[in-house]
Amino acid sequence: MAFSIIRVARTVLNVTDLDRSRKYYVDALGFIETERTESHIYLRGLEEAHHHSLVLQKAAEPSVEAISYKVVCDSDLDELEALFKSKGLQTKWMQEGSQHALGRALRVQDISGLPVEFFCKMDQVERMLQRYDQYRGSRVQRIDHVNCAVADVQKAYDFYVDELGFLCSEDTIDENGQLWASWLHRKPGVHDQAFMNGVGPRLHHVGFWLPDPLALIHTCDVLASLGYASTIERGPGRHGLSNAFFLYLRDPDGHRIELYNGDYLTSDPDVGPLHWDLNDPRRQTFWGAKAPDSWFDEASAVLDIFTGEEIAAKEPLLEKKKPEFII
């Protein structure tokens, strides 16, 4: 493969009220605000040395502009463009300076219709890992993964594994032997990108790594004390898939955020994926608690990279059920 993708590195979320969003992400959850303009807030975790991993962008309606991956070198972007064009996928160059703190970047409407971005260079800032005096709220460390609902999980899986070089750590198989969900990674964790069977393309959630499981519980206490208890959608709990601790939140615009800690190393290429049966209740929540209906029915709309309009969602190819498999 002529290019190397490192990891998921940022998301760009459209929000309707920057002040309201800042109160939630910075004052309550404790993200570090790197910079703010009239139309954007750039956030990062305490461990992160790059300018941001989450962009909150002022817009009329909530949506997702981009899911971004970092690559090893600038020439990887040209190789990726050639690959996408050979597959008939439309690409768009974002020239250096057109996005704050970012070098040139390549955007593509991927095989499922998701707005995916690749970049190599981002401004670096102070890593706050040992600035314990700055630890607040959830003590967010870094971006970890994204999970997306797509109409055809097998199609998405094949493209990301065969063409982009992702590896699969775990998956869910239905009673007919069909792929229902998959957890794919580039960094040596359980996932950078997960795909789930559902109405899509949509972003189900962005996951952020916390320092320890107690940070999830502390988050609930902080949110409750600030009047944000209603934004807790699911958890705290432990997943069967990934073995990680989780807490799912809905921000003021309805975007779903997962706070996450405790998965495992996936660096050995000779260890294949762990397969879960769709009807195995352990994979959902290891302790047995069920997810709410909003879990299955609601996700963030994604945008066309050229028009900025919402991509029309399609019904999934597999029968729509409500198995609690999402992490």
Q: CATH number, domain at 236?
A: 3.10.180.10
Residues 61 and 166 in one domain: no
Q: Is 39 within a domain?
A: yes
Q: What percent of the chain has pLDDT over 70?
A: 97
Q: Tell me, yes or no, whether 172 and 295 share the same domain.
A: yes
Classify residue 257: in a domain, yes or no.
yes
pLDDT of residue 321: 59
- Using the predicted structure, report yes or no on whether residue 270 has a pLDDT greater than 50: yes
Give yes or no: residues 151 and 210 share one domain.
Answer: yes
Average pLDDT, stretch 16-41? 98
Between CA 51 and CA 68 the distance in angstroms is 14
Q: Give me the half-sphere count of Cα atoms (radius 13 Å) on the Cβ side of residue 266.
A: 23
Distance of alpha carbon 279 from alpha carbon 181, whole angstroms: 13
Could you tell me what percent of the chain has a pLDDT over 90? Answer: 87
What's the pLDDT tens digit per position in 245-260? 999 999 999 999 999 9
Flag whether 134 is in a domain: no
Q: Categorize the per-residue pLDDT at 163 as very low, low, confident or very high, splitting at 50, 70 and 90.
A: very high
Tens-place pLDDT, residues 200-212: 999 999 999 999 9
Question: Among the listed ranges 23-37, 158-172, 237-251, 268-282, which one has the minimum average pLDDT value?
Answer: 268-282
301, pLDDT greater than 70: yes
Please provide the distance, in angstroms rounded to a whole number, between the alpha carbons at the two ends of the chain: 29
Q: What is the predicted pLDDT for the residue at 289?
A: 79
In residues, how long is the chain?
327
* b/e burial code for range 7-45 (CB count within 10 A of at least 16 → b): bbbbbbbbbeebeebbebbbebbbbbebeeeeebbbbbb
CB-CB contact of 166 with 118 (8 Å): no
Q: Can you give the pLDDT at residue 247?
A: 97
Range of the domain at 104: 5-119
Whether pLDDT at 324 is above 70:
no
Instruction: Tell whether 150 and 102 lie within a shared domain.
Output: no
Distances from the Cα of 9 to the Cα of 102, 131, 192, angstroms: 12, 22, 9
Position 322 scores a pLDDT of 54
Q: What is the mean pLDDT of residues 228-252?
A: 95
**pLDDT bucket at 240, cuts 50 / 70 / 90:** confident
Q: Please compute the mean of the pLDDT values over residues 133-162 and round it to a whole number.
A: 98
CA distance linking residue 233 with residue 222, whole number of Å? 15
Q: Does the residue 233 lie in any domain?
A: yes
Q: pTM here?
A: 0.96
The answer to whether residue 18 is domain-embedded is yes
Q: How far apart are CA 197 and CA 323, in angstroms?
A: 10
Long-range CB pairs of 227-236, under 8 A, 24+ apart, other chains included: 228/24, 228/28, 231/24, 233/292, 233/294, 233/295, 234/291, 234/292, 234/295
Please report the pLDDT score of residue 319 as a whole number: 73
pLDDT at 16 over 90: yes
Q: 34: which residues sit within 8 A by CB, 6+ positions away?
A: 42, 43, 44, 51, 52, 101, 125
CA pseudo-torsion sign 55, 56, 58, 63: positive
Residues 107 and 184 in one domain: no
Let me know whether 211 and 277 are in one domain. yes
Domain count, the chain: 2
Q: Which residue, chain included where needed, has tokens 């064009």?
A: 85
Q: Are both 163 and 296 inside the same structural domain?
A: yes
> 322 in a domain, yes or no?
no
- For residue 253, the model assigns a pLDDT of 98
pLDDT over 80 at 18, yes or no:
yes
Lowest mean pLDDT among 123-132, 154-163, 175-184, 318-327: 318-327
Alpha-carbon gap, residue 291 to 39, rounded angstroms: 35
pLDDT in the model for residue 325: 43
Backbone angles phi, psi at 213, to 5 degrees: -60, -35
The reply to whether 84 and 182 lie within a common domain is: no
Kindly tell me if the per-residue pLDDT of 281 is higher than 90.
no
> 150 and 107 in one domain?
no
- 237 and 156 share a domain? yes
The 10s digit of each residue's pLDDT in 41-87 is 999 999 999 999 999 999 999 999 999 999 999 999 999 999 999 99
pLDDT at 286: 80
Q: What contacts 86, CB < 8 A, 6 or more positions away?
A: none
Same domain, 96 and 240: no
Any idea what DSSP says for residue 66? Answer: E
Residues 168, 290 within the same domain: yes
In a domain, 186, yes or no: yes
